[in-house]
Amino acid sequence: MTKKSIKLFSRARRVIPGGVNSPVRAFRSVGGEPIFIDRAEGSVVRDVDGREYIDYVASWGPLILGHAHPAVVKALRKAARRGTSYGAPTRGEVKLAELIVEAFPAMDSVRMVNSGTEAVMSAIRLARAYTGRTGIVKFEGCYHGHADSLLVKAGSGVATLGIPGSPGVPASLAELTLTVPYNDITALRAVLDERGSDIAAVIVEPVAGNMGVIAPRPGFLRELREVTARRNILLIFDEVITGFRLAYGGAQTLYTIEPDLTCLGKIIGGGLPVGAFGGRRDIMNMLAPIGPVYQAGTLSGNPLAVAAGRATLEILQKTPDIYDDLNLKAETLCEAVKNVLQAHGIPATVNRAGSMFTLFFTPDDVTDFATAQKADTDRFARYFRGMLERGIALAPSQFEAAFVSAAHSDKDIRKTLEAFDAVLGGRT
Ligand code: PMP
């Protein structure tokens, strides 16, 4: 049934390392062979063998409006006709920056880049230059892209593949990255008491998505803001996933915390390669050409990416009800899953933040990386494959989020619930 995918995967492995351009796509932790996608529309992706799936991967978050949204496609067509890249400023990028700055009160200005990795990497350089310090603190299980400084106790694919950091990252650089458990302000205080004067920035996913979904404990983000401010350490919110997803103004608006710098990606590119970082003017003004911190990009502010991003943000801005609708659909799914789990006596925990959720196969609360890692990944793999068989595409790893989009219909939700019931109930 997946003949064409299997054939493509074998061709791919000859010319692409592991057959994929991003490791988790290879299905290593869930077994089986990856499905190759041919096309997608709304809530549905179709593989090269013609099988259709209700999609909760959403390209790992960007597609909050669903696949090939007509307004996004129209904007892309229009932009493409005017040329795909100029390497010069455009009106579109100014409008996108205005939309972002308006949505995020803590951002006075914003610079566009081409990926979340690039956004975070640049924000870290800027924080180091601004503070004149070299250390950074990150939280275990948070993923901030694959830049050298951040591949330390990282989530997402690093967690999925059980890689303890990465060979190739110089020890002298990795030493500058200190890690503490997510949600643990006491551990952070202890690290800062010892090393605070060397620390340029603390970076956090304000709501974690890359060790599965984990919300901050009440007060955690506020305390984080207080302890960093007191020591003149910059607080960086990595809202690559949560920006424009948990709320139009991201997690920082939802929790009313003002970080010094914010990293964005995913939704602001409407499914095209994009990232951005921004924040307080005095910090951002250190960037070239105003200041000495070099940061650049041939395709930064690319007209196609900007067009897709603007089309997406404009819809989100004009229809704020979207967020209630997304949250309700995710809540419906999660509550129903909890019932199924209970009915079948399956030890599992469902974490949800807005329209993102994770089903962890562990009976205990999941509040940090250590508790997430207690999850039974073999059981997750069986669940994943069962769902895929029934036409539901989830991220192929326990340590990722499922994303609900505006394109998921009531019928999609019902079909998904039926699949949950059958798969978790053992009728696979
Ligand atoms: N930060 C976070 C919170 C992310 O989730 C990701 C990607 N999943 C990144 C950074 C890196 O973004 P990209 O894959 O676009 O480089």
Report the chain's mean pLDDT, rounded to a whole number: 96
CATH number of 70-318: 3.40.640.10
**φ, ψ of residue 14 in degrees (nearest 5):** -75, -30
Pairwise pLDDT comparison (297 vs 172), residue with the higher score: 297
Q: How far is CA 324 from the centre of its chain?
A: 20
CATH classification (class only), 3-68+320-424: alpha beta
Q: Answer for the pair 360, 402: CB distance below 8 angstroms, yes or no.
A: no
Q: Write out the residue limits of the CATH 3.90.1150.10 domain(s) in the chain.
A: 3-68+320-424
Per-residue pLDDT tens for 156-176? 777 776 665 778 888 888 889
Per-residue confidence (pLDDT) for residue 426, from 0 to 100: 82
Query: Using CA atoms, how far apart are residues 346 and 424, in angstroms rounded to an integer?
Result: 8
Decide: 265 in ligand 1 pocket, CB within 6 A: yes
Per-residue confidence (pLDDT) for residue 157, from 0 to 100: 74
Q: Give mean pLDDT, residues 236-256.
A: 98
Q: Write out the residue limits of the CATH 3.40.640.10 domain(s) in the chain.
A: 70-318
Per-residue confidence (pLDDT) for residue 428, from 0 to 100: 47
Query: Using CA atoms, how far apart are residues 205 and 35, in angstroms rounded to an integer?
Result: 29
For ligand 1, the distance from its centroid to the CA atom of residue 241, given in whole angstroms, is 7
Is residue 47 classed as helix, strand or coil in its secondary structure? strand
Decide: 143 in ligand 1 pocket, CB within 6 A: yes
Q: Closest ligand 1 atom to the C-alpha of 265?
A: 15
Per-residue pLDDT tens for 263-292? 999 999 999 999 999 999 999 999 999 999
Residue 67 has pLDDT above 90, yes or no: yes
In the chain, pLDDT over 70 holds for what percent of residues? Answer: 98
Per-residue pLDDT tens for 72-123? 999 999 999 999 999 999 999 999 999 999 999 999 999 999 999 999 999 9
Pairwise pLDDT comparison (392 vs 165), residue with the higher score: 392
210 bridge partner residues: 212
| Side chain identity at residue 344, one-letter code | H
Per-residue confidence (pLDDT) for residue 162, from 0 to 100: 63
Per-residue pLDDT tens for 316-353? 999 999 999 999 999 999 999 999 999 999 999 999 99
For ligand 1, the distance from its centroid to the CA atom of residue 411, given in whole angstroms, is 31
Pocket test for ligand 1, best of 121, 139, 143 (most atoms within 8 A of CB): 143
| Global pTM value | 0.97
Residue 149 has pLDDT above 90, yes or no: no
Per-residue confidence (pLDDT) for residue 427, from 0 to 100: 60
Residue 218 has pLDDT above 50, yes or no: yes
Query: Using CA atoms, how far apart are residues 91 and 264, in angstroms rounded to an integer?
Result: 20
Per-residue confidence (pLDDT) for residue 329, from 0 to 100: 98
Closest CA to 173 of 162, 181, 165, 183: 165
